[in-house]
Amino acid sequence: MERTFAIIKPDAVKNGVTGQILARIEQQGFRIVAMRLQHLSRSDAAGFYHVHREKPFFGGLTDFMSSAPCVLLCLEAPDAIRAWRALMGATNPANAEPGTMRKDFGASIDNNATHGSDAPETAAFELSYFFRGMELA
């Protein structure tokens, strides 16, 4: 078993598709280990996305991620990191396969509905950034 960190982003929560995304997560065999609705501050978002701080899209990304509540998740499954990224689809919804989260629920590379960790080290950082140990027990 492996764990990954996922976000249902503000666009998806505002569009009222949180339930549909959670249903797909469970239908695909992930166990929801931890889950919380949270309106991030700009600095919460900046710390989370610190690896992108030099990128031109960083300001827009932190504005967007702090614009409305999002859903923070710890998901567990065999090969969870890869499996969740496959279910999300390409970062840009325009390039994502039909049936993926980003194709079905995302509108643009900025408003792309979901986030997922890209490697075990990233998952460890991202899970510990938002969840305490006892929430992941």
Q: Mind telling me the catalytic residues?
A: 115
Question: In the chain, how many H helices and how many E strands?
Answer: 7, 4
Non-local CB neighbours of 43 within 8 Å, separated by 6+ positions: none
Q: Closest CB to ligand CMP among 10 and 77?
A: 10
* Residues at the interface with ligand CMP (CB under 6 A): 52, 57, 61, 91, 109-110, 112, 115
Phi, psi of 59 (to 5 degrees): -60, -45
Mapping DSSP to helix (H, G, I), strand (E, B) and coil, where does residue 11 land?
helix
Query: CB of 110: closest distance to ligand CMP in angstroms?
Result: 5
